[in-house]
C-alpha cells in the first residue's frame, strides 16, 4: 500500500483502515516492536529497589543480625523454623577461614526479636525473599552484610562504581549503575549483587561442614552442565 493509497483510506481524524492484505505486515511490525532490547530496559528508581540510606540502617551493613524479623533461635519470621539465618564460618582449601552473613530483600532494620520464635501464617521461600549469604572482609567482625561501597565492615555491590584508582570502601560515595545517580557508601538496596555471594542452599551445605571451595566447584560444574 503506497502513501497515496493510505491517504485515500484515511478515516476522519487521520486513522487508517487497514485491509486483510495489510494484516501480515502490521503483525510483523508489532512483533518487532515487542522484542526486548537494551533501550527498552528502564532505569530503576529508589522506591523500585527499596533504597535505604546509611543512617536508615544504623550505619551498619544490612544482614539478618540487624533485622527485626530474625528470631531468637536464628531463624526468620518470614521463612519458618526449618531455615537457619545464622552467620557461618567456613574453611577454604587453603585452610584460611571465611565468614558469611545472611541477608534478604525483606531486610527490616532493627533489633532481632527476642523471646519465643513466631512466624507469619503464610511463609515465604528463601528464593522468594532473595536470601543469600555475604562474605565478610574479616572473620569475627562486629557486623557484616551488604551495602553499596563496602564500608563499615560490609561487602560492596558490583553495581557501585567510583573514579580513579581507589578502593570502593574508602570512598564516601559513588555512582550506582542501576539507579544512575550518586549513592552513599553505606546505603543499600535490593538490587545489591556480588559475584562472591552464596545462595541459601550453599550456605546450608557450609553449615553441614563442606568447604567453601568444594561448594563453589560443585556450583560451577552444575552451571556448565545446564
- Give pLDDT, residue 155: 96
* Domain positions in the chain: 3-40, 46-225
**DSSP-H helix ranges across the chain:** 3-9, 23-34, 126-129, 200-207, 212-225
- Give pLDDT, residue 221: 47
Q: Can you list the residues of the chain whose pLDDT is less than 50?
A: 6-7, 221
- Give pLDDT, residue 222: 57
- Give pLDDT, residue 178: 94
174 three-class SS: strand
21 three-class SS: helix
Q: How far is CA 79 from CA 40, 63, 119, in A?
A: 35, 15, 7
- Give pLDDT, residue 164: 82
Could you report the per-residue pLDDT of 88-132, keeping only the tens digit for each? Answer: 988 777 778 889 999 999 999 999 999 999 999 999 999 999 999
Nearest to 88 by CA among 218, 204, 199: 204
- Give pLDDT, residue 174: 96
Q: State the pTM of this model.
A: 0.76
C-alpha neighbours within 13 Å on the C-beta side of residue 167 = 5
Burial 202-217 (b: 16+ CB within 10 A, else e): bbbbbeeeebbebbee
- Give pLDDT, residue 207: 81
Query: Do 143 and 110 contact (CB within 8 A), yes or no?
Result: no
Q: Sheet containing 132-135: give its strands across.
A: 88-91, 97-103, 132-135, 198-199
Amino acid at each position: 500500500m503506497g502513501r497515496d493509497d493510505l491517504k485515500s483510506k484515511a478515516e476522519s481524524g487521520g486513522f487508517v483502515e487497514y485491509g486483510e492484505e495489510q494484516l501480515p505486515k502490521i503483525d510483523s511490525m508489532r512483533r518487532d516492536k515487542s522484542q526486548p532490547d537494551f533501550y527498552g530496559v528502564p532505569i530503576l528508581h529508589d522506591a523500585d529497589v527499596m533504597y535505604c540510606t546509611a543512617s536508615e540502617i544504623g550505619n551498619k551493613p544490612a544482614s539478618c543480625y540487624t533485622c527485626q524479623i530474625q528470631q531468637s533461635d536464628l531463624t526468620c519470621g518470614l521463612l519458618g523454623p526449618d531455615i537457619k539465618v545464622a552467620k557461618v564460618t567456613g574453611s577454604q582449601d587453603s585452610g584460611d577461614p571465611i565468614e558469611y552473613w545472611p541477608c534478604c530483600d525483606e531486610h527490616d532494620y532493627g533489633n532481632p526479636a527476642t523471646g519465643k520464635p513466631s512466624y507469619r501464617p503464610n511463609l515465604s521461600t528463601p528464593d522468594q525473599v532473595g536470601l543469600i549469604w555475604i562474605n565478610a572482609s574479616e572473620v569475627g567482625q562486629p557486623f557484616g552484610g551488604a551495602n553499596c561501597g563496602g564500608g563499615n565492615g560490609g561487602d560492596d555491590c558490583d553495581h557501585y562504581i567510583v573514579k580513579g584508582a581507589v578502593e570502593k570502601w574508602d570512598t564516601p560515595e559513588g555512582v550506582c549503575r542501576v539507579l544512575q545517580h550518586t549513592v552513599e557508601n553505606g546505603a543499600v538496596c535490593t538490587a545489591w549483587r556480588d559475584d562472591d555471594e552464596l545462595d541459601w542452599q550453599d550456605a546450608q551445605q557450609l553449615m553441614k561442614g563442606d568447604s567453601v571451595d568444594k561448594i563453589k566447584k560443585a556450583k560451577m560444574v552444575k552451571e556448565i552442565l545446564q
